[in-house]
Amino acid sequence: MRVVSQSDISPDHNSIRLLARNDPPEIPCAECDSLAAELYTECYWSDRKFSYCDSCVESHKAQVPSHEEMYLPVVNSPRIGQCAYTGPDGGKWASSSSDR
């Protein structure tokens, strides 16, 4: 474990604060080995290719156009790939390249 940044936070006893976060998962795209941005859950649970980067996901979506709801974003959570889970902030992971 390493500290990548530090912040002075005053305690607020009326709310919950996130103090630490895991590094986001580095799942490779099934087509080009770039970092995946989306999972196709139909394949995720059947041991087939399931992860796609932003570029490759569009061609995969063209092959299965009626299954848009089966795509979920790659999120920093143990619930990745679970039914309709898109993360606490709607699937948008904010990190700087220096965190990787």
State the pLDDT at residue 89: 61
Tokens of 56: 């490759």
CA–CA gap between residue 91 and residue 82 (Å, rounded):
13
CB 46 within 8 A of CB 82: no
Paired sense of beta strands 38-40 and 51-52, if any = antiparallel
pLDDT tens, residue by residue, 8-67: 777 777 777 766 777 778 899 999 999 999 988 888 777 788 899 999 998 888 887 777
Q: Summarize the confidence of residues 84-90 as an average pLDDT.
A: 69
State the pLDDT confidence band at 97, using cuts at 50, 70 and 90: very low
State the pLDDT at residue 83: 75
State the pLDDT confidence band at 93, using cuts at 50, 70 and 90: very low
Any idea of the CA torsion for 24, 85, 94, 5, to the nearest 10 degrees?
-60
Residue type at 69 in one-letter notation: E
CB 38 within 8 A of CB 56: no
Q: Could you tell me if residue 4 is left (phi over 0), alpha (psi between -120 and 50 degrees) or otherwise beta?
A: alpha
The reported pTM is: 0.62
